[in-house]
Structure formats: structure tokens, C-alpha cells
Amino acid sequence: MRKRLSDISEGLSTPQITVLDAGGQYCHLIARKIRDLGVYADVQPSETPASQLAGRKGIIISGGPDSVYEAGSPQIDPKILSTSSAVLGICYGQQLMTHMLGGRVRKGEKGEYGFARFQTGRPHALFASLNGQLQVWMNHRDQVELAPEGFDVLGGTFTCPVAAIAHRTRPLMAVQFHPEVAHTQQGHQILANFVFGVCGCTKDWDPKDRIGPLEKQIQAIAADRNVFFFVSGGVDSTVAYTLCLRALGPERVFGIYVDTGLMREGETAYVRRLFQQLGATAFRVEEAETEFLKALEGVTDPEEKRHIIGEQFIVVQERILSTGHFLDGHWILGQGTIYPDTIESGGSAKADVIKTHHNRVAGIQKLIESGRIIEPLASFYKDEVREIGGELDIPGEFLHRHPFPGPGLAIRCLCSETVAPVTRSDPGWLLPIRSVGVKGDSRSYHSVLALEGLPEDEVATELVNRMLDINRVVGLVHARAGIAELRSSRGTLTRERLERLRQADAIVRQLSEESGFDREVWQFPVVLIPIGAGSNPDSVVLRPIHSVDGMTAQVVRMPHELLHRMTYELLSVNGVCGVFYDLTHKPPGTIEWE
């Protein structure tokens, strides 16, 4: 059975594989992928002494946001590299192994984020049955310049010649790319080669049968207390709510949907229908648009917006609870938090904060510290949550709905304090706005490069890798003015701008559903940016992507005819000047712009 990734139950045998956490965004994903192979793996801090890892057949050093040659960067016990355990370094792990054993690591001339072509060289058990060119997923700027003595270079990419190394006689090996993410096409095989071919592990883990253990966990945490949920109608909160409903019974689980004024068109009616179908008897809608918009008035910084929304939820919660109509003071808060929410909020010891999710703001942290939070899905990824929902018989109509962020349209409505023109930056134009991204496991908040037309994805990837001051590339589909005439405006979260985005989002959803394109993508954010001209101050950005677990994402191109029709209808929305298409994978661009 599958426990929480952070838990080790009593009586469980020693893990065969341990992942040492150097602060990487994908650290726990590595452990999960090993468990999916049927082998028990755990996660420990990078500095864990070698003596505590005795008996491990394999050790994996994760990626991380730091540079190995800088003071204070994550380290491992050097003895780990001289034990009988096989060691695999991934990204930062390769650089750390190189640095500790006398090789050289340097900052590359440009970064390498997203897709890359890895050419295998010398044969090795790590690449058994895999020869020639492999599609891999990169997320780094530093790279190995010289492998340590006794190591062979197993392959490289155009940007990174030393992208895989292995010792000739000892079980030490490393790769610069990330085999644990879905977009490294043969990553599953590479990890299987390490676990079974190199380490000699045997299967001792069953990744199925999750419902029973989760229900027992909920009952143990809740004890005699009731559970109160703020539900959104999204997959995560719906599955978490349903788990608690099954574990505790409908009389002990209360749900309130807060209409923040930041939701999509028709969302409130949709959520009412959903919870009626789930059999929720204690459910109500709380109208709170005025107080949320008042709290967000004039705010432009994305992190500040997220913090305000999260804290405002706490204010609403306390107001509702103080009435005594629901929980009579004996309660804990339930949340649909999943693992990417935690890791992007800096939830791992050495992880960088990419963006603070509304369920990880200060007020929520206080509830966690006081033992008043239950998050049954906090160790799972989006694809796993959907699988659990299927086992709970949640209707597929709801279960396979595109993810929608908890802060709602607020983080898809970018704001600006200044009026400034676009500036020429060969081969495109720098838009005078910034978006959040992730480069080398670190947060970036950089400019957006706009191109005229829609070049191939490889062009966008190359530009982001080469230009340090951008983390996102968009293509201009069409605008009411020439791109050189566009400028930013002083845009905030007003009802007018939110309604403009709501209309645009409704158009995109309707056309995507009618055409079937919505079934070809994992998520389709529609973003409003304060870039326009004259009486049309805003533009719309289309962001259709494919992902498996939300940790990495790939741009999806829509058919030309659909794009043409969608653009035509979007330009009919009052105040919309242009339509852009986001050409950026994750990394370096996060799925949401804020």
C-alpha cells in the first residue's frame, strides 16, 4: 500500500533506495517514481550521515537551486561515495559528485531549460537498451566542465557536452537531465536500469490500494473533531473532501464554497451541482466578492496578491466559525493541498520559493503548527489525485476537469504600476511586464519576450536559454495595433478587468470544448496582461499545455482554424487589443504566469 511520502510506518522494512534532498523541485517525485517501479524509497536530508544509510542498495542525490562552488550550498557525507551503495546524481547531484571528487563545475554560457537531445556515447548499465539520441528534460545553468578522475563521459547535449558520467570501477554515476519527469521519454527505463540493473533491488512495494490507508489516516488525525472545508470545485479539493466524507460520514464534514469574485463564469452554479451529486448535506455558498476585491485593491505584486487571498480566506473562515452554526468550536480545517503546492511554496528544507500557494500562507502555517489542518493529498501529484478520485467513483465529468488555481482569476489578471512602451530586443520585443518562472529550481521574475508570429517551440526554448533577462516567450497572433505601438498601462484588479478576463476565458473554454481541443491539453490558462494601445488597454495570452503531474509542462499548438476563430472572438471583447500565444515550456516558465 502507498503511505504518505513523508511517512515511514512502524514495522516497515529498511528502504532499498534513499533520495537525498538537495532542494530540488522534483526531489519527492524521484522517490515516487521509484515506488511506482515497486521498490520502497524514502527521502532524507542531503546531509544525512552515511552511517544512517547503511543497508541501502542505492542512493540518489537530487537536483537543487544552488551552485556547488558557493559557500553554504547543500552537501552530502563524503563517505557515501565510498560505500558499497550505488549512487546516482541528478542535475545538482551530478555537479556535487563531480565537485567532491575533484572534477570541475562552472556556470554555462547559457542555461538549458526544457527539452534537449541527449546523445549517448559509451555503453553503461544506466542506459541498457537505450542507444543513440534520447529526448530529455533539462533545468540548469551550471554544468560539469571536467569529469573527476576515473570517470567516463557517457553522453551529452549540444549545450552540455558532459550530461552523463560514470566511474569505471565503482558504482558511481550521474546525469545532468531529469529522468524522473514525464517529459524525459525514456526516464522510466533509466530509473529502472539503476534500481534493478545497477542496484539489484527486488520489488517490495505495491502502489495500489490507497483508499483504505488514507481513510485510516484521516480518522486518526481528525479523532473526535469535525472537518471544515473551503471547496472550490476543483479536482484536488473535491477528492480530499470526498475522502473525508467517506472516512468520517456526512454529518462530520462541512463544506463552504466562497464566491470571491475571482471565479470563472458559471462557476458557482457548477459547484452547487457537483456537491449535490457527491451527497454533501452540510454545504453552503458564502458571498465574499466585495471584501476580497477591497483587500486586493491597488495590489500589483504577484506574491502579495497570493498572500492576501490566502489570508482573506482565513478571515472569512474565522467569521463563519465564530457564528457557531457549523462546527461549534471543535474543528480542524481540511484542504486539497497536493505535493506541487508544497514544493513550489518552499516546503522542502532547501527548496526555493517559486510562488506561495494560497494554502501555504502564514495563517495556514499557524494552523498546521497547532495541529488544526488535515491534508490527505499533500504527498500526491495531480495524476495520482485523479486516480484516487476514480477509485472513489467521482464522476469523470468533474474528475478530468482542467486544473484551476485556488486564487482564481486574480493570478491570471496581471497588474502593472507603470505606463511604458515595448522595447526592441532582437529578434523580438520586450513587453514591459514580468512573469514568474522557474530556472534551475529557483524562482525567476523576469521580462516577457514577444515575437511577431508563432515560430517553432525550439526557437522559443533557445531564446529563453540564451537571454538571461527573460523567462517566457510569446508569439503575437493578432492585434488591433502594430506590436511597436503597444505599451503597458496602470492595470489593477478591478471588476472591469476581471469581467474582461472572465469573458475571454468563457470564449476559450466554449470553443475548446466544441472543437474537442480541451481533451488534447492538460490545462488551458487564459491570461489578461495590461498591454495594449489606445482605448484597448489589455491583451489576452493563450497558454494551452500538456502535463502529467504539474511539475513539468509542454506547450501544445492548436489547429490554425481554431486559433483564427478564437482570436477573432477574443478581439470582440471590449478593451482587448491583442492575442498572444505562450510558447514557453515548464521550466523555465511556470504554468501560471503568477
Please give the positions annotated as active site: 91, 178, 180
Angle (CA) 163 164 165, round 5°: 130
- Among candidates 326, 240, 334, which has minimal Cα distance to 286? 326
Of all helices (H) and strands (E), which one includes residue 119? strand 104-120
Q: Which residues of 32-51 are buried (b: 16+ CB within 10 A; e: fewer)?
A: bbbbbbbbbbbbbebebebe
Cα–Cα distances (Å) from 335 to 114, 321, 367, in that order, read 31, 16, 11
Query: What letter does residue 515 receive in the DSSP assignment?
Result: H
- Report cis status (omega within 30 of 0) of the bond before 432: no
Enumerate the H helices of 339-431 as residue ranges: 339-344, 362-369, 382-391, 396-399
Question: Across-strand partners of 581?
Answer: 475, 542
The single residue listed with the C-alpha cell 505606463 is 419
Cα–Cα distances (Å) from 586 to 60, 436, 486, 552, 583, in that order, read 23, 11, 27, 5, 10
CB 441 within 8 A of CB 344: no
Helix (H, G, I), strand (E, B) or coil at 545: strand
Distance of alpha carbon 357 from alpha carbon 261, whole angstroms: 18
Distance of alpha carbon 432 from alpha carbon 418, whole angstroms: 9
- Among candidates 372, 348, 373, 342, which has minimal Cα distance to 360? 342
- Among candidates 182, 245, 214, 179, which has minimal Cα distance to 380? 214
CB 436 within 8 A of CB 593: yes
Question: Whats the size of the chain, residue-wise?
Answer: 594
CB 344 within 8 A of CB 303: no
The single residue listed with the C-alpha cell 542531503 is 46
Distance of alpha carbon 242 from alpha carbon 253, whole angstroms: 9
Helix (H, G, I), strand (E, B) or coil at 349: coil
CB 334 within 8 A of CB 227: yes
Helix 362-369 and helix 302-322: axis angle, to 10°? Answer: 50
- Among candidates 459, 464, 454, 424, which has minimal Cα distance to 590? 464
The edge-to-edge listing of strands for the beta sheet with 226-230 is: 283-287, 253-259, 226-230, 331-334, 373-374
- Among candidates 423, 394, 350, 456, which has minimal Cα distance to 25? 350
